[in-house]
Amino acid sequence: MFDYKPYGSPALGSPSDGPGYTAHVSDRDTALVYMQARYYDPASGKFLSVDPIAPEAGNSFSFNRYAYANNNPYKFVDPDGRFVQLFLGGLIGAAVEIAAQKITNPNASINWTSVGVSAAVGAATGGVASVARAAAVRGAITFSQAVTRTAVANAAISAAGSATDSAANGEKPSAGKMVVAAVIGGTLGYGAGRIANAEAITLQKMAAAPVTSPQAIGAHIAATTQSASVTTATQSAAAVVAENGANVAGAVAQKEVEGRIDRNNQL
């Protein structure tokens, strides 16, 4: 049992080898913490290398690619040495809900209860995605498996979110609405995961292919290496735009279907 200062330095004594700060592996000789994607220095509160997740427009924290947990270790942890997806997922969930409400009913007031539920759902799905990708980075599962498991979890979380939203708004949870939420949440989660992990999935397939096959890594490594540096930023930006656009479209479609379910129940 150890006590740590906010950024991970031992409150008493010196670090030891093995699980330590936020359950990550500590190295006694270097006093660093290995967080799977990067090494972290608790003395400075910084990572030793840049975040592999590219900066995102509108999010000032992501532009400091050495910072730990948005410089707020009291509130956040970094599960795998990359950007804090719980925080980002909550913001995106709230923003998508507000946009969907205004698109489906522009003159109505914003239902902040539903916005809060959507923020919680977004945070949960973001956390699941982060954990699954961390497992893929470690090699415990493939990136394709991480995408599939995230999509299944998203479906379950979305269904639970639908029931929670109904209850929070004084309505009886609807099985029909939960099914719609699960289908849309799972489908969008799968599509977003395939986009975000497209390069990693392709490389894993190439590495696993027989050497003599057209898909083998030897036949493609030169082209992949040559194009990666040019396309990474473009693909990252395109993925963010596509994912958020799909999220808004999915939320609008879900509200339209839920509206029809409510009207049918009133007949």
Q: Do 89 and 78 fall into the same domain?
A: no
Q: What is the mean pLDDT of residues 214-235?
A: 47
Q: Considering the domain boundaries, does residue 232 fall inside one?
A: no
Q: Considering the domain boundaries, does residue 193 fall inside one?
A: yes
| Contact between 185 and 154 (Cβ < 8 Å) | yes
The pair of three-digit structure tokens given for residue 245, joined into one six-digit string: 């656009």
Q: Do 210 and 98 fall into the same domain?
A: yes
* pLDDT for the residue 245: 65
Q: Do 89 and 46 fall into the same domain?
A: no
Q: Do 113 and 208 fall into the same domain?
A: yes
The pair of three-digit structure tokens given for residue 254, joined into one six-digit string: 């879900």
Q: Considering the domain boundaries, does residue 265 fall inside one?
A: no
Domain count, the chain: 2
Q: Name the residue among 136, 151, 109 with its Cα closest to residue 250.
A: 151
**In angstroms, rounded to a whole number, what is the distance separating the alpha carbons of residues 258 and 183?**
13
| Contact between 144 and 201 (Cβ < 8 Å) | yes
- Collect all residues with Cβ–Cβ distance below 8 Å to 213 and sequence separation of at least 6: none
* pLDDT for the residue 241: 54
Q: Do 38 and 126 fall into the same domain?
A: no
Q: Name the residue with tokens 């849309």.
A: 184
Q: Do 48 and 167 fall into the same domain?
A: no
**Which has the higher per-residue pLDDT, 181 or 221?**
181
Q: Considering the domain boundaries, does residue 224 fall inside one?
A: no
Using the 3D structure, point to which of 82, 115, 130 is the last residue of a domain.
82
Q: Name the residue with tokens 């497209």.
A: 198
Q: How far is CA 33 from the centre of its chain?
A: 22
Q: How far is CA 256 from the centre of its chain?
A: 26
In this predicted structure, the answer to whether residue 110 has a pLDDT above a threshold of 90 is yes
Q: Do 115 and 92 fall into the same domain?
A: yes
* pLDDT for the residue 58: 58
Give the residue numbers spanning the domain of 47.
Answer: 1-82
* Residue 152 pLDDT level (bands cut at 50, 70, 90): very high
Q: Considering the domain boundaries, does residue 242 fall inside one?
A: no
Q: Report the SS3 class of residue 25.
A: strand
Q: Considering the domain boundaries, does residue 190 fall inside one?
A: yes
Q: Do 90 and 123 fall into the same domain?
A: yes
**In angstroms, rounded to a whole number, what is the distance separating the alpha carbons of residues 152 and 238?**
24
Q: Do 74 and 136 fall into the same domain?
A: no
Q: Do 108 and 199 fall into the same domain?
A: yes
Q: Report the SS3 class of residue 18.
A: strand
Q: Name the residue with tokens 């003395």.
A: 43
Ramachandran sector of residue 65 (left: φ over 0; alpha: ψ -120 to 50; beta: rest): alpha
Q: Do 98 and 76 fall into the same domain?
A: no
By percentage, how much of the chain surpasses pLDDT 70?
Answer: 66
Q: Report the SS3 class of residue 67.
A: strand
**Which has the higher per-residue pLDDT, 54 or 21?**
21
* pLDDT for the residue 160: 93
In this predicted structure, the answer to whether residue 47 has a pLDDT above a threshold of 50 is yes
| Contact between 45 and 72 (Cβ < 8 Å) | no
In this predicted structure, the answer to whether residue 108 has a pLDDT above a threshold of 60 is yes
Q: What is the pLDDT of residues 16-45, one digit of tens each?
A: 777 777 777 788 788 888 877 788 888 888
Using the 3D structure, point to which of 82, 97, 127 is the last residue of a domain.
82
Q: What is the mean pLDDT of residues 157-182?
A: 91
Q: Considering the domain boundaries, does residue 237 fall inside one?
A: no
- Collect all residues with Cβ–Cβ distance below 8 Å to 127 and sequence separation of at least 6: 79, 85, 86, 89
Q: Considering the domain boundaries, does residue 266 fall inside one?
A: no
Using the 3D structure, point to which of 34, 60, 82 is the last residue of a domain.
82
Q: Do 157 and 115 fall into the same domain?
A: yes
Q: What is the mean pLDDT of residues 178-182?
A: 92
